[in-house]
Structure 1
Amino acid sequence: MARLQTLLHAHPTLGPLAVLVLAVALFSVLNPRFLAPANLSLVLAQVTVIAILALGQTLVILTAGIDLSVGAVAVFSSIVMADLATAVGLPGPAALLVGFALGTGMGFANGLLVTLLKLPPFIVTLGTLSIFFALNSVVSGGATVRGADMPSIMTWTGSTVSVGGFGLTLGSAIMLVLFACLAYALRSTAWGKHVYATGDDREAARLAGIRTDRVLLSVYAIAGALYAIGAWVLIGRLASASPNVGVEYNLDSITAVVLGGTSLFGGRGGVAGTLVGTLIVGVFRNGLQLAGVQVVWQGFAIGLLVLAAVAIDQWIRKVRA
């Protein structure tokens, strides 16, 4: 057990990966349709938006913070993009750029409140959650913008390309590229090392010469940009921009990060684990649905997985002692 504990501490993705493989094997035995290319395509498409949002959430949690405004930023960005492209008549690319800038700005605002006022990230993002959802209601007026009324580039991410019988949406392709880029940045750049150091021990990182406030600002700004990209993918997924979605995105993104082996205490984990954690949620929900399990019990199973993941993380962290 001590060797396993040390191994999982050094490679936090191994545990979630083993769970994913076992889940795929189990559900493929319970229902042969699970491994059908069409069903696997559906699983990936269903988790794409949450995966992108969880990518930003991972950066925040790596710094020992948490972001409860994920859903509000994504939905508000999608509404602004759609309204600019329809009601205002802005060209599609310009509307997207404004939406990306808005998402980045909202993330940057979270970072400023955390660094300048020294407020806990939980409190900051809980407050901005309400603010952004309120602004979303004001701007949208509660109305959904149809994809048919938008320029084609707004719903472009919902297009599907066939790869050997497997349907890959362009939104999923964007998601995989984002994961690859962030994985490289965290593993192979000074910025990535500073993110881990800040999350592991912020004061020690500051004394070592790392400008921790700048690191935190960059993390929250990049997270906001990722949420805005997720908003674009969301529009393509729904073929519309609705102000009434996103309530569950906060918990779903945190669930994916935790299941992926990233520690809620910061400084340990990575985006590869987050991708695996997102797939675990998607596989369990799809597999249980094919097995005829009621929705309420699907949520029950996901909740048990989260509790188990946090308990295992606590056990793994003791290896430092």
Structure 2
Amino acid sequence: MSLKEKLPPLSQLGPFIALAVACVVFGVTTDNFFTAANFALILQQVMVVGVIAIGQTLIILTAGIDLSCGMVMALGSIIMTKFAADFGLPPSLAILCGIAVTTLFGLVNGLLVTRIKLPPFIVTLGTFNIAFAITQLYSSAQTVTNVPESMLWLGNTFSVGESQIAYGVVLMVALYLAAWYWLRDTASGRHVYAVGNNPEATRLVGIPTDRVLLSVYVLAGLFYGIASLLTVARTGVGDPNGGQTENLDAITAVVLGGTSLFGGRGVILGTLAGAIVVGVLRNGLTLMGVSSVYQVLITGILVILAVAVDQLSRKGAR
């Protein structure tokens, strides 16, 4: 077997190559990029989107998409903080209520996709607006403060050498490793790939495709709930105006991470690399003094390039 055959496909290596190139470019062009404190900051900045992107990856692997993820996350954070700050519920119970709401939204999305056969794009566009409206109405468009200290624990840091690593970053990495193991080494995880690759053939071999799809959307809702807790821990408040761009950021991380929008192909650890690539780009461009408008422009170009590469590789494989 040649070296080329032993190496993983370019679609899997691409995110890590892009991450390395971006780090080298910004390390050469800026003074403070290659510091432990800066890398720790980048990881803290991407931990919320990184966890949302786990759920988004699962859905995209089944050839679906979830536009509601950011607003569902915001709703979960409002539920958690209001239940704890306004109603005096124990923080652990308030957190469970918030996660239950985001998981319920995942269940609703999954049922509409599997039972009524509605397109995921339309379903999640609708639930995006529903989650946004509920968040604004329930919070009266006001930020929730006086959040119990115990709900902010994941935003605390511990020392590793000269850097301060947030506990939320550790949780994010642990969730990625768990999802990677599940998708790679379990039958139910491999069923996700099978459904995304060819749902009809998967159904014909006896795999309950609707049940797989439903479980994927429910799991995604669970991850959005965990991301709700992380955003509360990071900001210290319940923000009803949060989550409005996280859906696009999560999709960007998934696409840059090498997961095919057509389903059936991708590695979850690539999504983590994709999320960090976005964080590195924004951090490096900020250090260079580049306007945030150009940061969005560059990110958009990268997404289009990543999808184009995926499309061309699919055509080349036929």
User: How far does the alpha carbon of each residue in 1:215-263 deviate from its partner, in whole angstroms, 9 at most, with x for none?
Assistant: 0110000000000000000001111111011111111100000000000
The equivalences for 1:1-20 within 5 A come to: 10=9, 12-20=11-19
Q: Read off the aligned partner of 2:137 and give its amino acid letter.
A: V
The match for 1:298 among 292, 295, 298 is 295
Give the TM-score normalised by the residue count of structure 2. 0.96
Check the 8 A contact 2:56/2:251 in 1, yes or no: yes
Aligned-partner Cα distance in 1 for 2:137–2:157: 33
% identity of equivalent residues: 50
* Residues 8 and 316 in structure 1, CA contact (< 8 A), matched pair in contact too: no
| Structure 1 unaligned blocks of 5 or more | none
Hey, what does 2:95 align to over in structure 1? 96
- Aligned to 2:33, the other structure's residue is in SS state helix
Aligned counterparts of 2:130 and 2:3: Cα–Cα separation in 1: 45
* 1:1-321 → structure 2 map (5 Å cutoff): 10=9, 12-146=11-145, 149-321=146-318
Question: How far apart are residue 158 of structure 1 and its match?
Answer: 0.8
For the 8 Å contact 1:137–1:243, the answer to whether it is kept is yes
- Partner deviation per Cα, 1:48-86 (whole Å, 9 max, x = no partner): 101001111000000000000001110000000111101
How far apart are 1:151 and its partner, in Å? 2.0
Superposed CA deviations along residues 16-40 of structure 1, whole A, max 9, x for unmatched, are 1111101101100001310111111
The answer (yes or no) to whether the contact 1:72–1:129 under 8 Å persists in 2 is: yes
C-alpha root-mean-square deviation of aligned residues, in Å?
A: 1.6
Query: Alignment partner of 1:79: what SS?
Result: helix
Residue aligned with 2:11, SS? coil
Question: Residue 147 of structure 2 contacts residue 236 of structure 2 at CA under 8 Å; is this kept in 1?
Answer: no
1:128-176, Cα deviation, whole Å (9 max, x unpaired): 1111111111111111111xx2222211111011111121111111111
CA distance in 2, matches of 1:297, 1:88: 43
> Would the alpha carbon gap of residues 246 and 188 (structure 1) be closer, same or farther in structure 2, given more than 3 Å must change?
same
4+ residue runs of structure 1 moved beyond 6 angstroms?
3-9
Distance 1:117 1:4 in 2: 48
- Residue type matched to 1:182 in 2? A
Size of the aligned set, in residue pairs, is: 317
Q: For structure 2, which runs of at least 5 residues remain unmatched after alignment?
A: none
Q: Measure the CA separation in 1 of the matches of 2:226 and 2:21.
A: 32
Distance in 2, Cα, partners of 1:167 & 1:32: 20
SS at match of 1:241: coil
Alignment check: 8 A CA contact 2:71 2:242 kept:
no
* Amino acid corresponding to residue 260 of structure 1 in structure 2: G
Quick one: structure 1 residues 26 and 249, their matched pair in 2 at CA, closer, same or farther if it must change by over 3 Å? same
| Distance in structure 2 (CA, Å) of the matches to 1:57 and 1:153 | 28
- Structure-1-length-normalised TM-score: 0.96
User: Matched residue of 1:41: which SS?
Assistant: helix
Question: What secondary structure is seen at the aligned counterpart in 1 of 2:289?
Answer: coil
**Which secondary structure state, in structure 1, belongs to the residue aligned with residue 63 of structure 2?**
coil
The question of whether the paired residues in 2 share the 8 Å contact of 1:16 and 1:259 is answered with yes
| 3-state SS, counterpart of residue 34 of structure 1 | coil
Instruction: Name the CA distance, whole Å, in 2 between partners of 1:240 and 1:231.
Output: 11
Tell me, in whole angstroms, the C-alpha distance in 2 between the residues paired with 1:302 and 1:207. Answer: 40
